[in-house]
Structure 1
């Protein structure tokens, strides 16, 4: 029988208390409108150890498991999805450094990320290739004791704010990961402006024009970048599923409070059978999404990597977040469209989570290939 440990229950409570105490509704609405990164909340989250809980304690991480990170992100997103997504992406790409980077790179960069001094970002996607990581056009050529990088990455999270980028580059006949500091000569940022959701997490195109970095900035072994990127992406899907789960819970909580208090024709909205059936559907979808997300995290903590399960969790939780937030808007009626009631933002953030790390069609491809197997 599945159950959280006492330590995980304590982490969940601490994350819930943090979110309740630090996330002010009116301030957040203004931050979201302005597209401002929640710096103060990020710094406090770092002080409390909520960033990179599954990363090594030696470098200021929590030294815990993926499930611990999942319950933390779930609770923060349950209180506010936009802030939760920003915090979830604050360490993006740092996992690559923690797993495969040299000791020198880890010591130089990981503590700064996990102590809330610097954002990180993985730069994998390119405009003409979508989610196809096998067709990289950004190149890195070895010249003496340096790598010279040329090309452009698109839709990079934390673009323009990150202190460094973990860049997937073509190196000869294979691909490699290389750390590029944000202040390197030849690196430029093109902000992509306001998005439908996730507006506290800036997104940008990053261009590299003869950018030179030391040979020691290679992350892991040369030629293994594609395998590293795929493993990182699978693991990241678990965290995205956790954020989507929290987003669904948040919309559900707000909707329940509303329908229990709102009267129509002399009855509370929650007393109408049509409302009850919508609520029942939402409750089932949230429960199933929670179970598959927790299972994916547990499997990872057991030392196994199951890309299919990661895709299942991400697709299921994101679909649930979309459907629950949409139904919540319906039950709110006209108020559901109003910023003050927040469920419209849950819907927008849910859509953002759905397309991150590959939209539903990408996840279905992965799941189907695994289910069908080899065709003779």
Structure 2
């Protein structure tokens, strides 16, 4: 395993760092909080011009066709700057689900538009009182002639108001994984968007489907195979979210170290006190560990190895590191760290939310445990999220 970046990967990392420094400063992050659209125009335009929106989309589908290791180098920088926008749900999750559903060739105009930033498509997946597994999908898609009728509610739909298309996970049968994917225009009659407010103050929506009619042309992939495509896309996506978290944790630690050098108590910098110095030393080891695990998962994906356990471990550990480091950072900052004037609270709030989203810690632990204990096919770990 060689985790040393190539010259090209260093160039991608440095380009993204410079782009974010210019167009995704904390002033931009603050401006986008609770914004109904949540797309910073200048940052989005720069990502379009540099091709970053197509990084995870194959060249034949209109993207850059970068490897997972290339993308992880980029996402680490996006995390360092808390870059806002719908780039992950659109260009990674929706594009990935279309590819794994076998729809890439048929949807190339859409994929090309997503890669170019001309179209935003976001997944409508989670539901009220539902879990992260297939049993959590209860929104119904009922066949009606040549169409489907969708009825139900989705929550935590990121950037729904900025999107032209929703990729909806809907139940079509009684089997646990009888789930299909549908592309639904956000302007379709019966689709209602209601903004939600979250811990991270990001742009989320509740989306209600009231007998929404969808043509069979917008049914994605083989019938009853939607969950398999979605789950495979998730394993890809959580590696990049882990890279984002590792980058955010590293930056939060840097901010805290700098603050500890400047803030004085009893005539000396607070970083000189052993207890605080040890907090930051421990955090440094945790951040480095998170980055290495993320890179290992990304490398394994890039060379075609099975990444199910590594991907889950990477997100579990990197998000935990992000959460623990920012918690430590708040302690070092003291009470002022919770005030809106200080940037560390931006990292703290996003760290906790990312830990709870896109498969939370409990779900990831179950996936890892199932892989460890069922590796010989002798034991199956039950899905605890079946209510």
Normalised by the length of structure 1, the TM-score is 0.91
Q: Contact 1:52/1:114 (CA < 8 Å) preserved in 2?
A: yes
Q: Does 1:191 align with 2:191?
A: no
Give 3-state SS (helix, strand or coil) of 2:161's partner. Answer: coil
Aligned pair count? 371
Describe the superposition over 1:200-253 as per-residue Cα deviations: whole angstroms up to 9, x where unpaired: 4x2122222222222122222111111112112222211211111111012111
Give the direction of change, closer, same or farther, for the CA distance of 1:269–1:88 in structure 2 (3 Å limit). Answer: farther
Q: Contact 1:169/1:175 (CA < 8 Å) preserved in 2?
A: yes
Q: Contact 1:125/1:131 (CA < 8 Å) preserved in 2?
A: yes
Moved more, 38-47 or 339-348: 38-47
Partner of 1:89: 89
Q: Contact 1:88/1:243 (CA < 8 Å) preserved in 2?
A: no
Partner of 1:114: 115
Partner of 1:273: 274
Map 1:115-264 onto structure 2 (within 5 A). Answer: 115-173=116-174, 174-192=178-196, 194-197=197-200, 199-200=201-202, 202-264=203-265
Q: Structure 1: which 5+ runs fail to align?
A: none
Q: Contact 2:153/2:207 (CA < 8 Å) preserved in 1?
A: yes
Give the direction of change, closer, same or farther, for the CA distance of 1:297–1:134 in structure 2 (3 Å limit). Answer: same
Moved more, 222-231 or 18-27: 18-27
Give the direction of change, closer, same or farther, for the CA distance of 1:103–1:370 in structure 2 (3 Å limit). Answer: closer
Q: Contact 2:139/2:152 (CA < 8 Å) preserved in 1?
A: yes
Describe the superposition over 1:23-51 as per-residue Cα deviations: whole angstroms up to 9, x where unpaired: 23334323326564323312221221122
Q: Contact 1:166/1:178 (CA < 8 Å) preserved in 2?
A: yes
Partner of 2:383: none
RMSD between aligned residues:
2.1
Q: CA deviation at 1:154?
A: 2.1
Q: CA deviation at 1:171?
A: 2.1
Give the direction of change, closer, same or farther, for the CA distance of 1:259–1:102 in structure 2 (3 Å limit). Answer: same
Give 3-state SS (helix, strand or coil) of 1:339's partner. Answer: coil
Q: Structure 2: which 5+ runs fail to align?
A: 381-387
Q: Contact 2:39/2:85 (CA < 8 Å) preserved in 1?
A: no
Q: Contact 2:86/2:120 (CA < 8 Å) preserved in 1?
A: no
- Structure-2 separation of matches of 1:96 and 1:249: 30
- Structure-2 separation of matches of 1:350 and 1:103: 33
Normalised by the length of structure 2, the TM-score is 0.89
Give 3-state SS (helix, strand or coil) of 1:63's partner. Answer: coil
